[in-house]
Amino acid sequence: MKSVKKTEKTIKLFSFFAGAGFLDLGFEKTGFTIDFMNEISEPFKDAYCFAREKMNIQAPRYGYFTCDIKNFLERSKYQVNLEHYLSRALSDGAITGFIGGPPCPDFSIAGKNLGKEGVNGILALSYVDLICVMKPDFFLFENVKGLYQTIEHRKYFDELKQKLKNAGYCTSERLTNALEFGVPQDRDRILLFGILKDKINSTKYDSGDELVDFLWNKYASFQLDTVKNQKWPECNDFGQISKFTLPDEYKKLTIQYWFDQNDVEDHPNANFFFQPRSGLSKFQSIQEGDVSKKSYKRLHRWKYSPTAAYGNNEVHLHPYKERRLSVAEALAIQSLPKEFQLPPEMSLSDMFKTIGNGVPYLMANGVAETIKNYVQENIR
């Protein structure tokens, strides 16, 4: 008997804490539709719009909302509008999902470590509360590894997860590294996925409402242990000609591969970088590949980057030029398509902040593929 192919449903996303839209772009390129975008920072929202115009990507159906996420939890026009948009998506027969990564300095090991009491820590609860109230079919929650690995913050993470389960969601989480998806960056993030329990078969979750078959690394390109155990180059003096032979598959994880891939020298954001306030002597004294200190890390052209964090006085230097990284180079390290660019009128501080806050594009894309397949196959 000839099998009948299951018709795919449209999946409509509601994006929160969208920044310049790296996470959204990963989902969009996988076939998701962004119906709604929320970002409190006006410059980041403008960057989101600018990049998509340049890439000819359709604007969200319901536009852009530059407000605090807590406004959607209060009886206000914001909440009424969001409820209406969700209702319209459901009446269209679409599957609905929330995606977002609340700002994370309060959980970051390198940040102020204020945890759930901090201003940003409270936003994580607001996002979870919004999911519990609005009940999208599924959600994705992204944050720094400190929320998952630090003992005190982990308690808060478990409380948030239990709140979601009490609201009717089954969940799965994973500490995921960007290297696994082909991003030239050693960046760990905790990812939490949830789907409404009454939308899936009971064989898909256990007695603790944990999903039993959600394959986080289904679309991963590399095994993390294999990557870390690869023979990578040692440090060499700045300005020295650096030659290093790597297997072809690992070249795709190197800084130089992505600089070439994105043609960073001719990128519209090529000449956007911070100029030193004093002489270049410090820039010249740091070896290529020396990333041992918190600041003034010099990347190695034939290796991947440490986490692309450009705040808290962290300075990342070009492998073989006497300067800091350019915006074009930082975008490449986040594995964004070469067509992606930030508006020239945006301040340098905002450019590097939104880049450092963003979810690496290829990681977002791989996770989006997994979520898309799982949702299409399992939601009844």
Active site residues: 104
Question: Amino acid identity of 217?
Answer: N
Identify whether the C-beta of residue 183 lies closer than 8 Å to the C-beta of residue 254.
no
Distance between CA atoms of 364 and 174, rounded to whole angstroms?
14
Identify whether the C-beta of residue 178 lies closer than 8 Å to the C-beta of residue 187.
yes
Task: Tell me which long-range contacts 210-217 makes (C-beta under 8 A, separation of at least 24).
Answer: 210/170, 210/171, 210/172, 211/170, 211/171, 211/172, 214/172, 214/370, 214/374, 215/370, 215/374, 216/172, 216/174, 216/176, 216/191, 216/367, 216/370, 217/174, 217/176, 217/180
CA distances from 274 to 41, 233, 256, 348 (A): 22, 27, 21, 7
Structure tokens at 10: 């449209």
Give the residue among 285, 284, 291 at the shortest CA–CA distance from 308. 291
Chain-centre distance for alpha carbon 197: 26
